[in-house]
Structure 1
Amino acid sequence: MKSHKSQILIIIAFISIYVIWGSTYVFNKIVVTEIDPFFIGFIRFMTAGTLILIIAKFLKLNLKISKKQFLNCCIAGFLFLVYGNGVFVWALKYVDSGFAALLASTQPLFVLLLMRLVDRKPMQKKSIFGVLLGLLGMYLLVSQQDITASEGSLLGIFMIFTCVLSWSYGSVFVSKANLPQSFFVSTGYQMLAAGTMLLVGSLIFNETWLPPLSWSTDLQLSMLFLIFFGSIVAFTSFNYLLKTVSTEKVATSAFVNPIIAMLLGWYVLNEVLTLQSIIASVILLSGVYFITSRKRIAKVTADESIKP
């Protein structure tokens, strides 16, 4: 039986992964309106990765890494943070944050289909029903003329789906890859590798670099939130929950994050919340529920879920 103190910590950790990760969509939307996406990622992940490894060193975790593990960290960093996050943030220029969060919630569907291709095992009836609901929800989302008629929206939607696919493949890859034993240390190396790649990408695309002191107050506060809360506090809470509660419970963030993102986008950024989007979200998240209710998929999606 868990102690009163541990129960309080668990509640705080769940609030962190629900609210903080759900709000990262809005903060990414704010920052991408002022500075370029790869430059954002470079600053965010290089800073967060450095801080994570400093904390790991302070906690006396083993920081040694083999060449194979380093290569796998680079691959995972690219799939999750360079493409999965960097391109996702770029797409937020053309898509509302709440809408993007709903599209991102389809990740368990992609993971299920990818694992079906990798393991070549038939899907359960519950999973098939979840996939059908997910496809219906996605159709209702992207078929709204008011949303898709805006300039660049179709491209943004398409690129978000490729980001979800990248995260989904990364989830399957990480579940089988040789990585540092400590998930905390592994994430630190992934972030540093991704930060370096995003730096190169920013230079290749000739992005404009603006010194932090020249940023607006909203931008500065948003970046601090993304670095310290989105990348470190929420991740630490996530890592703690994986060790103290079932992965199925941790995976419930896939249902809560889009709702938080939609409400914040509507309240903070005045994003339009249509009746069709609400209906689509209910159908889509119901499909996600049926998919993640399978223990195997729940574990994979909980281990590496898409959090911009």
Structure 2
Amino acid sequence: MPKSNNKILIVAAFFSIYVIWGSTYLLNKIAVTELPPFMLASIRFTVASILIFIIAKISGISLAITKKQFINCSIIGFLFLTFGNGGVVWALKYVDSGFTALEISAQPLVILLMMYFLEGKKIQPMSMIGVLFGIIGIYLLVSQKELISQEGMALGMFTIFLCMLSWAFGSLYVAKADFPKNYFINTGYQMLTGGVMLFVASLLFGEKWSSPTKWTQPVQISMGLLIIFGSIIAFTAFNFLLRVVSPEKVATSTYVNPIIALFMGWYLLNEQVTEQSIIAAIILLTGVYFINTKKKLTLYSRFKK
């Protein structure tokens, strides 16, 4: 593929995970008010995978993958979708969509620390500043008594944190494991396996399923947007980026996601946005900037010389 075309794809992919994923918090929040969380996520990803395979078949793209690739897709399907996304959707029953996106904005910090502890990658001085900002921002976010005193809020925040760990580990795993070369097919198998495991989880939790014809119109629209844009388009873009750029760069989507989610949640769902949350957002996103910047500390550079 020509470099110019590849650059265009990378820009388009980043737009997808920045903007589209920023709106999925709102869409999931709307849907989970009416639908059980694991049922919601299972339908979303299973239907999306079927549509992906139909499109691939019509386009003449082979669906064949090796046993090892299928196992890897299943592992990522669990880390990203079954646990990673399913847990977040469940938490949205108790946590506002904007707050959820804001907490997840700390994911670059989690990835950086995981790369340090699991892969021995050194943390650069600028990134150390980012880590400090990230810890302060998270503390300010989760220490708001008026929010954490709400029923289920603390458990929801802890669940989101566990989901961040799952996504972070999955991001590192994707960069090294063997997957189908076609990103579209790769996405399809991850969603199929993740959707099936979410179906099993839904049965284990005794969720009551309902027909789409009985859903309200806002839920039907939200599910359609989640399947087409949030799943097929954005998740394919996410898989593509994980193979062509570093995991911490992909995680910079958390710069934009919380801003979009906070605004949409406040404007469309009248969600509460406290002053402390805004301060926490500024500090967190500043930390994310320092983690991902390539600039060097002037004093440190001079000392090294």
Match of 1:17 in 2: 17
Distance 1:246 1:132 in 2: 22
Encode CA deviations 1:236-264: one digit per residue, 9 max, x unaligned.
55567789999887654220111000000
Greater mean alpha carbon deviation, residues 59-68 or residues 104-113: 59-68
Measure how far apart 1:67 and its partner are.
1.1
Measure how far apart 1:62 and its partner are.
3.2
CA change 1:169–1:52 in 2 (3 A) is same
Greater mean alpha carbon deviation, residues 10-19 or residues 111-120: 10-19
Verify the 8 A CA contact 1:45 1:191 in the aligned structure 2. yes
The 5 A counterparts of 1:132-151 are: 132-151=132-151
Establish whether residue 206 from structure 1 lines up as the match of residue 206 from structure 2. Answer: yes
Match of 1:163 in 2: 163
TM-score by length of 1: 0.87
Establish whether residue 173 from structure 1 lines up as the match of residue 160 from structure 2. Answer: no
Distance 2:38 2:230 in 1: 17
Question: Which secondary structure does the structure 2 equivalent of 1:207 belong to?
Answer: coil
Amino acid at match of 2:271: E
Distance 2:256 2:137 in 1: 16
Measure how far apart 1:8 and its partner are.
8.8
Amino acid at match of 1:98: G
Verify the 8 A CA contact 1:251 1:292 in the aligned structure 2. no
Question: Which secondary structure does the structure 1 equivalent of 2:61 belong to?
Answer: coil
Runs of 4+ more than 4 Å apart = 5-15, 236-252
Match of 2:270 in 1: 270
Distance 1:61 1:93 in 2: 39
CA change 1:179–1:160 in 2 (3 A) is same
Encode CA deviations 1:152-204: one digit per residue, 9 max, x unaligned.
10000000000000100111111111111122211110100011111111111
Distance 2:160 2:245 in 1: 31
Match of 1:81 in 2: 81
Establish whether residue 115 from structure 1 lines up as the match of residue 87 from structure 2. Answer: no
Establish whether residue 222 from structure 1 lines up as the match of residue 222 from structure 2. Answer: yes
Distance 1:86 1:244 in 2: 26
CA change 1:171–1:243 in 2 (3 A) is closer
Match of 2:53 in 1: 53
Question: Which secondary structure does the structure 2 equivalent of 1:116 belong to?
Answer: helix
User: How many residues are treated as equivalent by the alignment?
Assistant: 294
Verify the 8 A CA contact 2:41 2:195 in the aligned structure 1. yes
Measure how far apart 1:54 and its partner are.
2.0
Verify the 8 A CA contact 1:39 1:202 in the aligned structure 2. yes
TM-score by length of 2: 0.88
Match of 2:70 in 1: 70
Verify the 8 A CA contact 2:63 2:185 in the aligned structure 1. yes
Distance 1:248 1:83 in 2: 21
CA change 1:60–1:246 in 2 (3 A) is farther
Greater mean alpha carbon deviation, residues 47-56 or residues 209-218: 47-56
Instruction: Please list every run of 5 or more consecutive structure 2 residues that lacks an aligned counterpart in the other structure.
Output: 296-305
Distance 2:6 2:166 in 1: 35
CA change 1:225–1:276 in 2 (3 A) is same
Distance 1:67 1:52 in 2: 20
Instruction: Please list every run of 5 or more consecutive structure 1 residues that lacks an aligned counterpart in the other structure.
Output: 296-308
CA root-mean-square deviation: 2.7
Question: Which secondary structure does the structure 1 equivalent of 2:17 belong to?
Answer: helix
CA change 1:239–1:270 in 2 (3 A) is same
Question: Which secondary structure does the structure 1 equivalent of 2:256 belong to?
Answer: helix
Distance 2:249 2:125 in 1: 22
Amino acid at match of 1:24: T
Measure how far apart 1:121 and its partner are.
3.3
Verify the 8 A CA contact 1:248 1:293 in the aligned structure 2. no
Measure how far apart 1:235 and its partner are.
3.6
Amino acid at match of 1:93: K
Distance 1:156 1:17 in 2: 23
Verify the 8 A CA contact 2:99 2:262 in the aligned structure 1. yes
